[in-house]
Amino acid sequence: MSKKVAVPANLKSVLEKGDKIFQPGISVDCAIFGFHENVLKVLLLKVKQSNKWALPGGFIFKDETIEKAAYRVLHERTGVDNIFLQQFNAFGDPNRSDPTIHQNRYLEYGIKIPKENWLVQRFITIGFYALIDFTEVKIDDAISNEGAEWIDVNKLSNLMMDHEAIVLKALEALRTQLAYLPIGRNLLPKKFTMPELQKLYETILDQKLDRRNFQRKMIGFGILNKLSETRKGGAHKAPFLYTFNDKKYQKALKEGLYGSW
């Protein structure tokens, strides 16, 4: 006699409460970007039943705004709070959902979902992207018993449904918004050099930037504090360290910056 597999708490909640508390037909998906060793990466969860990768996502409570749902899902998946999170697009292709994935997921626990169930009907998802300090996210704690991993955005493969398209659209939005929103506070160490900040921008934009123009523009934004400390250990002249001015950074997030790359 085979041992009965326990249903995980998050699946139990969906099964027991279902469309009584969740809004049918709509979800949120988060493209969570981190910067590590000069590579821009996105956090993906492994979908065991289909051997594919997926973005952290979830359902929306009926009494919850879409923005609050995104922050909640992000916290549930990473444990991180109070970070920059930006809505960038909606994805509603009629063929984007794959009911087989959801049905197989529940079949693993001995539960059969009928085709007319809300879980396997068409879903429109609202995309958000987040910028997170790579070192702060403990991916072993992600809400996934299949595992999670940081994947280079230039090496995406085997993602479920339209999640690769969502990541690429998030990256496109991030590049566009670099012209008027500050980034880096959640992607770099607290103290960083101007070359390190420039490398981050170049990696996201996928283009080289003039060193002097970049430095002049970043200092002109008024969101950086130059420290008296320098980065030791390099082969060249030690560059000065900088930090972000939190108050001015938050103001720039609300009011925007001016210029383009």
**Tens of pLDDT along 163-193?**
999 999 999 999 988 888 888 888 888 899 9
pLDDT band for position 8 (cuts 50, 70, 90): low
Read off the pLDDT of residues 208-240 as tens digits, 9 standing for 90 and up. 999 999 999 999 999 999 999 988 765 567 889
| Residue range of the domain that includes 224 | 192-255
In a shared domain, residues 203 and 95: no
Q: Residue 108 and residue 213: Cα distance in Å, rounded?
A: 57
Same domain, 86 and 157: yes
Q: How many domains does the chain have?
A: 2
Residue 68: predicted pLDDT: 94
- The token duo for 9 is 């708490």
DSSP 3-state percent helix, strand, coil across the chain (nearest 5) = 35, 25, 40
Rounded Cα gap, residues 250 and 185, in angstroms: 10
Q: Between 259 and 179, where is the model more confident?
A: 179
User: Do 166 and 215 have their domain in common?
Assistant: no
Q: Which amino acid is at 260?
A: S
pLDDT at residue 1, as a whole number? 37
Residue 142 pLDDT class (50, 70, 90 cuts): very low
Which has more confidence, 17 or 57?
A: 57
Angle between helices 194-205 and 163-177 (to 10 degrees): 130
pLDDT of 52-102, one tens digit each? 898 988 889 999 999 999 999 888 877 777 777 889 999 988 877 666 766
Q: Do residue 204 and residue 81 come from a single domain?
A: no
For residue 202, pLDDT over 90 is answered with: yes
Q: How many percent of the chain have pLDDT more than 90?
A: 39
Q: Report the DSSP pairing between strands 22-36 and 124-131.
A: parallel
CATH code of the domain containing 238: 1.10.10.10
* Statement to judge: residues 162 and 235 lie in one domain: no
* Residue 259 confidence (pLDDT): 58
Query: Is 231 inside any structural domain?
Result: yes
Residue 3 pLDDT class (50, 70, 90 cuts): very low
Cα 212 to Cα 224: distance, rounded to the nearest angstrom: 16
CATH code, domain carrying 14 = 3.90.79.10
Above 90 in pLDDT, residue 42? yes
Average pLDDT over residues 6-31: 75
Q: Does 29 reside within a domain?
A: yes
98 assigned to some structural domain: yes
Q: Is the pLDDT of residue 2 over 50?
A: no
Model's pTM, two decimal places? 0.80
What's the whole-number mean pLDDT along residues 130-156?
73
**What value does the mean pLDDT of the chain take?**
82
Residues 257 and 55: their CA atoms lie apart, in Å, by 29
Quote the pLDDT of residue 131. Answer: 86
